[in-house]
Amino acid sequence: MILYFSGTGNSRYVAKKLAERTEDTLVSINERLRRRDAGHIDSERPLVFVCPIHDGRIPDIVTKHILRTPFRGNHDAYFIVTCAENPADAQSYVLKLYKKKGFRFRGFASVRMPQNDIIGKEATSRAEIGKLLEEADGKIAALAEAVLRDEILRYETPSGKAGSLFSPLRMALRGGAKGFYATEKCGGCRECVKRCPMKNISFKDGPVWGDECVRCMACIDGCPKSAIEYGKKTQGKDRYYLEC
């Protein structure tokens, strides 16, 4: 079973391709979160979790959802993360989670994908996106083969600059959803409301953000009019969203 959480489509893209190649069931953690569904999950085949790296680790909301969910059946589990730079020390957090859930470790791997964090960084340039996706496709195919052969994934030591060594501080500085607002470009389509995995956006005369933001970037990157900004940090920046 392939279970994914995704803000802007990268992890959904990887999860869908893995599900196609392994002919396995695809489960959206986004949808489970939207339904407030932490009901049990039953899988005869190994569990394959797919999610993005946020500040050098897997998003807290994914950890919490896995902890809350009872798993029945196969407890072999793979963890595949998508990241724009590298997974930093995320594997160590994943291992703690495995211990708490009684999962059997079958491997941790990362797939480099375009940058979606347009608050802290710049989105990957349009020219680079195609090449990154092509490279990702090759890696996804190899990962699917390994899962099908029941192989343990080889651990990869992260290279390059760590995502963040001061994750809690960076998270605190990000300041939740307080900085989001819609500009006069908003056409009222409510895509932001539909895309938010936390159901954190309601709509009155325009989108209104609540306090449950997990900074997934689905609203700001997914707005078809680029009408959402975060303070002054996102003004003039490209958006990144992978429809799939």
Ligand X SMILES: Cc1cc2nc3c(=O)[nH]c(=O)nc-3n(C[C@H](O)[C@H](O)[C@H](O)COP(=O)(O)O)c2cc1C
Q: How far is the CB of 215 from ligand SF4 (least distance, A)?
A: 5
What are the percentages of helix, strand and coil residues in the chain, rounded to 5?
Answer: 35, 20, 45
Member of 2, 3, 11, 201 binding ligand X (CB under 6 A)? 11
Q: How many CA atoms lie within 13 A of 182 on its CB side?
A: 24
Which residue in the block uniquely carries the two structure tokens 């959803």?
A: 177
Q: Which is nearer to ligand SF4, 5 or 79 (CB)?
A: 5
Instruction: Check binding of 2 to ligand SF4 (CB under 6 A).
Output: no
Q: How far is the CB of 96 from ligand SF4 (least distance, A)?
A: 24
Instruction: Check binding of 91 to ligand X (CB under 6 A).
Output: no
Q: Which is nearer to ligand SF4, 33 or 90 (CB)?
A: 33
What's the rounded Cα separation, in Å, for the pair 200 and 36? 12
What's the rounded Cα separation, in Å, for the pair 153 and 92? 15
Q: How many CA atoms lie within 13 A of 170 on its CB side?
A: 14
What's the rounded Cα separation, in Å, for the pair 36 and 32? 6
CB 237 within 8 A of CB 5: no
Q: Which is nearer to ligand SF4, 73 or 179 (CB)?
A: 179
* # of chain residues touching ligand X (CB under 6 A): 26
Q: What is the DSSP letter of 170?
A: H
Within residues 148-207, the interface with ligand SF4 by CB under 6 A covers 177, 182, 186-192, 195-196, 198, 200-201, 207
- Residue of minimal CB distance from ligand X? 163
Within residues 172-211, the interface with ligand X by CB under 6 A covers none
Pairing of strands 47-52, 2-4: parallel
| Alpha carbon separation from 94 to 174, 187, 221 (Å, rounded) | 23, 41, 27
Interaction partner, residue 61 (ligand SF4, ligand X, none; CB < 5-8 Å by kind): none
- Write the binding mask 6 to 35 for ligand SF4: x where contact by CB under 6 A, - elsewhere: -x----------------------------
Spell out the residues 6+ positions from residue 178 whose beta carbon is closer than 8 angstroms to its own. 209
Q: Using CB under 6 A, list all residues that contact ligand X.
A: 6-11, 52-56, 82-86, 88, 113, 115-117, 163-164, 215-217
Q: Using CB under 6 A, list all residues that contact ligand SF4.
A: 7, 177, 182, 186-192, 195-196, 198, 200-201, 207, 209, 213-219, 223, 225, 227-228
